[in-house]
Chain A
Amino acid sequence: MSEILKNSLRSGPDASGHFGIFGGRFVAETLMPLILSVEKAYGEARRDPAFTGELSHLLTHYVGRPSPLYFAKRLSEQFGGAKVFLKREDLNHTGAHKINNCMGQILLAKRMGKKRIIAETGAGQHGVATATACALMGLDCCIFMGATDIERQAPNVYRMKLLGAEVRPVTAGAGTLKDAMNEALRDWVARVEDTYYLIGTVAGPHPYPAMVRDFQCVIGLETKEQMKAQEGRMPDSLVACIGGGSNAMGLFHPFLDDGTIAIYGVEAAGHGLDKEHAASLAGGRPGVLHGNRTYLLMNEDGQIEEGHSISAGLDYPGIGPEHSWLKETGRVTYVSATDEEALDAFVNLTRLEGIIPALESAHALAYAAKLAPTLPKDHLMVVNLSGRGDKDIATVAKFRGEGGVG
């Protein structure tokens, strides 16, 4: 590991899909040949100019990239410290960063000759992005979504249905993201021939954590150029929320080797770290679930515990394995924000900048609100605004005891 540290923090995973002790391929044998074929296909595709060219075309003309890097002047003034820039992933087609990954993987699925796409979703953003990609490519689409999440993200459920996807409610467990992922894996085992599993975050078995990261790195790469164009230099800090960790990894990864840049990943502290939460790095320990070894919330017997977050997209008891590794190397600082802090940040950004952020992204904003005031005025901070909050207005209204929505 010291060898990797000396050279680059960006060279992982190793050939067998490990980031230090994390990652790997902990799947049933039935899936193993499939995982290996995805790895092989992706390895070929990423070197094929036809593939990368088509992806880049879609990102520009369909998704609407590059997304703006917006200097939030009023927010920065309120904070009274760092200059805060928002990476506007909320302005992507379908309203979140999830579509970046879906464009890449849908092209891969097509290349592999798959006819049917399955995906898990929490907030419904990944489900909507997947259903969108399937509509675009004319592929069958089945989205697994926890019953609890179906209730709290109703607008996205209907969007998926309009897009032609089947939405399968999952009632096992707490009916959230973890259970949706279990059910998607079960479906995949039963339909290995024609089905491609389009995982929505930097988790799951190798090659998914690396592949999803690669497709999301466009966020960080654009940020580098945009900051250079606007301020003539690199940012000083990066802040992003973490469910599985894909929007964060996409922003962080291109900057990992520049040790002067402070990097913060914000987990969901739910009701508080001493109560119910979804902060697997803060409150968990290394274990094995959903195909990889990573930090997980569990009891002393290794039974997985349910996460809790007001934000369905962060309500997951695990985290992508590369984040676990970055925590142990110390390169990234992992912090957390509570439901209440996220709600405050949600309302604050809406009022101050006229931007309704996703509740997920509001966790990043909540930490920025703590950090920015402590920093000098020439400090350049980038907060990843991973998605827009239209899907969350009913949840917010309910929490604030306000009627009239949904």
Chain B
Amino acid sequence: MSRLSQRFADLKAQNRAALVVFTTAGDPSASVSQAILNGLPEAGADIIELGMPFTDAMADGPAIQEASKRALAGGMTLQGVLEMARNFRQTDQATPIVLMGYYNPVYIYGPERFAQEAAKAGVDGMIVVDLPPEEADELLAPLSRSGIDFIFLTAPTTDDDRLPVVLNKASGFVYYVSITGITGTVSASEAAVGEAVKRLKSHTQLPVAVGFGIKTPEQAAAVARHADAAVVGSAVVERVAKGDVKLVHDFVAELAKGVRTARK
């Protein structure tokens, strides 16, 4: 069983959702970023989304754009991202790592080579924002050969006709972008999230993670009542920007408390 399936199965048995925490690799510096990453499981993150920095983060708001900028200014590269995953795996074998970013750096690295090296580094899944199912095959094939899940995004605009197009190629879990917008801006209502999760669940057996716009432990709890996972990105990144590892981990602990008590 993959780390992702195992994690979702374990949490299902506990009747609780996963807390997915996003942080950009190399933000605000390589060493602080590694310290943040290594401490995330203990702080309460169940799954980690590790951002691959990119100059042109078209689906992201200012917080994550700035995170990319800081990471790139500090010299972070794709190789560096994999190095961080490798380091993390020395102390943690159970927490899934999903890389998230844009296609160009991966394309330039070479999808086949990247898939192989990422698998060796202990990466479990990938989210590539600008690779819709129509364009995904060239990365999907190498990833599945390497046993890495390709996690597709679905959005409020993905209607029932289109959902199967996306879900047919999905594995690991399905990521639901809860708003039409970029990261770190507006939030969906709990009712809207509930409806959306129900709709997705009628199309797929895969776990459903909901993200975009979740900023507080309360919002994370609200999402965790309906979805299999709540993803928090910009709100974490805003704390990462301060360079204070403890501040980040304390915030993650609060989020975790929200998620863990949501269905009680």
Interface residues in B44-93 (C-beta closer than 8 Å to A) = 54-59, 61, 65, 72, 77-78
Task: For B132, list chain A residues within 8 Å (CB).
Answer: 25-29, 32
| Chain A, interface residues (CB within 8 Å), range | 35 or more
Pairwise interchain contact A190-B72, C-beta atoms closer than 8 A:
no
Q: Which among A172, A189, A190, A287 has the highest number of chain B CB atoms within 10 Å?
A: A189
Contact with B along A179-194 (1 / 0, CB 8 A): 0001001100111110
Q: Quick check: is B220 within 8 A (CB to CB) of the other chain?
A: no
Q: Quick check: is A202 within 8 A (CB to CB) of the other chain?
A: no
Q: How far is the CB of A108 from chain B (nearest CB, A)?
A: 19
Task: For A287, list chain B residues within 8 Å (CB).
Answer: 104, 107-108
Tell me which of A41-49, A147-155, A300-308 binds B. A300-308
Task: For A291, list chain B residues within 8 Å (CB).
Answer: 130
CA distance in complex: A33, B161 (Å): 10
In the complex with contacts A30-B177, A190-B180, A288-B130 CB distance below 8 A: yes
In the complex, the chain B residue whose C-beta lies closest to that of A190 is: B181
Task: For B104, list chain A residues within 8 Å (CB).
Answer: 287-289, 296, 298, 302-304
Q: Which among B72, B131, B154 has the highest number of chain A CB atoms within 10 Å?
A: B131
CA distance in complex: A27, B103 (Å): 10
Pairwise interchain contact B157-A30, C-beta atoms closer than 8 A:
yes
CA distance in complex: A105, B177 (Å): 29
Pairwise interchain contact B181-A288, C-beta atoms closer than 8 A:
no
Q: How far is the CB of B90 from chain A (nearest CB, A)?
A: 25
Q: How far is the CB of B178 from chain A (nearest CB, A)?
A: 11
Main secondary structure of the interface of B (DSSP, over half): loop
Pairwise interchain contact B182-A288, C-beta atoms closer than 8 A:
no
CA distance in complex: A288, B102 (Å): 9
In the complex, the chain A residue whose C-beta lies closest to that of B68 is: A303
Task: For B59, list chain A residues within 8 Å (CB).
Answer: 28, 30, 186, 189
Q: How far is the CB of B190 from chain A (nearest CB, A)?
A: 21
In the complex with contacts A288-B104, A289-B56, A29-B181 CB distance below 8 A: no
| Chain B, interface residues (CB within 8 Å), range | 35 or more
Pairwise interchain contact A304-B56, C-beta atoms closer than 8 A:
yes
Q: Quick check: is A11 within 8 A (CB to CB) of the other chain?
A: no
In the complex, the chain B residue whose C-beta lies closest to that of A300 is: B108
Task: For A24, list chain B residues within 8 Å (CB).
Answer: 134-135
Q: Quick check: is A16 within 8 A (CB to CB) of the other chain?
A: yes
Interface residues in B93-150 (C-beta closer than 8 Å to A) = 102-109, 129-132, 134-135
CA distance in complex: A26, B59 (Å): 12
Q: Quick check: is B187 within 8 A (CB to CB) of the other chain?
A: no
CA distance in complex: A16, B137 (Å): 13
Task: For B181, list chain A residues within 8 Å (CB).
Answer: 30, 189-190
Q: Quick check: is B153 within 8 A (CB to CB) of the other chain?
A: yes
Contact with B along A346-375 (1 / 0, CB 8 A): 000000000000000000000000000000
In the complex, the chain A residue whose C-beta lies closest to that of B212 is: A30
Q: Quick check: is B155 within 8 A (CB to CB) of the other chain?
A: yes
List the 8 closest pairs (A to B, CB-CB), nearest first. Answer: A302-B108, A302-B105, A190-B181, A30-B155, A29-B153, A26-B130, A302-B104, A304-B55
22 residue pairs bridging A and B, Cβ less than 8 Å apart = A16-B134, A26-B103, A28-B155, A29-B152, A29-B166, A30-B155, A30-B156, A30-B157, A189-B181, A190-B181, A190-B182, A288-B102, A288-B130, A298-B108, A301-B78, A301-B105, A301-B109, A302-B78, A302-B104, A302-B105, A302-B107, A303-B72
